[in-house]
Chain A
Amino acid sequence: GQSLEQPSEVTAVEGAIVQINCTYQTSGFYGLSWYQQHDGGAPTFLSYNGLDGLEETGRFSSFLSRSDSYGYLLLQELQMKDSASYFCAVRDQSGGYQKVTFGTGTKLQVIP
């Protein structure tokens, strides 16, 4: 089977930089996605890494190292509205790369 590990909670100061890590164990691997979910809301797609390296989208970046089975989401210039839960997700060989597995999520609290 597959498993993903993320820290359950992270606290950071407004204006700072925070990194949310995700390690995975899968049978085969296709790519790593990141989603944001505010309390009471639906998950929204943030970023995807299919290859090793850094993907940048505005204040958010995501990194993948396939050899280390590890990725992270980097949030820069934190704003209060970034307080939310962040989920990593993978597709792997089980289900023919069509089945998606999410991590349990990291709750980010941004404080003034």
Chain B
Amino acid sequence: EAQVTQNPRYLITVTGKKLTVTCSQNMNHEYMSWYRQDPGLGLRQIYYSMNVEVTDKGDVPEGYKVSRKEKRNFPLILESPSPNQTSLYFCASSDRDRGGIDTQYFGPGTRLTVL
């Protein structure tokens, strides 16, 4: 089954404790992206990647890191989480050539709480 998976689905952590949210897709998509969703603000892009070893900042990259060492994986790293990073996070992927970047497939989401 074609899908985007994220882990963990729920996470409660404390300020300053490094964490990684994993994202994996099995559709051989080139484009992958991370979003955060907060009430009233919609989805805001954190980072995106056009292919392996190619990443770039979205609209809200501060406090986040990403890596793209393999085509299927695109982990989101919070090296020193703070309470303002409490949010719902979505990973998404799309086939740059078939359907284009605009047809994104989203993972189930990760609800993160930073105390």
Contact = CB atoms under 8 A, between A and B. Distances in A.
Interface of A: 30-31, 33, 35, 41-45, 48, 50, 87, 89, 91, 95, 98-105
Contacts, number: 65
Interface residues of B, number: 26
Given A31-B100, A43-B92, 12 more contacts: A33-B102, A42-B109, A43-B106, A44-B106, A45-B103, A87-B42, A95-B56, A98-B48, A100-B33, A101-B59, A104-B41, A105-B42
B42 A43 contact: no
Contact of A91 (B35, B101, B109): B101
A42 B41 contact: no
Given A99-B58, A100-B33, A45 B105 contact: yes
Contacts of B35: 102
Nearest to A32: B102
A25 to B, nearest CB: 15
Nearest to A4: B42
24 contacts: A31-B100, A31-B102, A33-B102, A33-B103, A35-B104, A42-B90, A42-B106, A42-B108, A42-B109, A43-B43, A45-B102, A48-B103, A87-B42, A95-B56, A98-B48, A99-B45, A99-B56, A100-B33, A100-B58, A100-B101, A100-B102, A100-B104, A102-B44, A104-B40
Contacts of A45: 102-105
Contacts of A89: 43, 102
Interface in B78-111: 90, 92, 100-109
A104 B35 CA distance: 13
Contacts of B21: none
A45 B31 CA distance: 15
Given A42-B106, A45-B103, A98 B50 contact: yes
Nearest to A100: B45
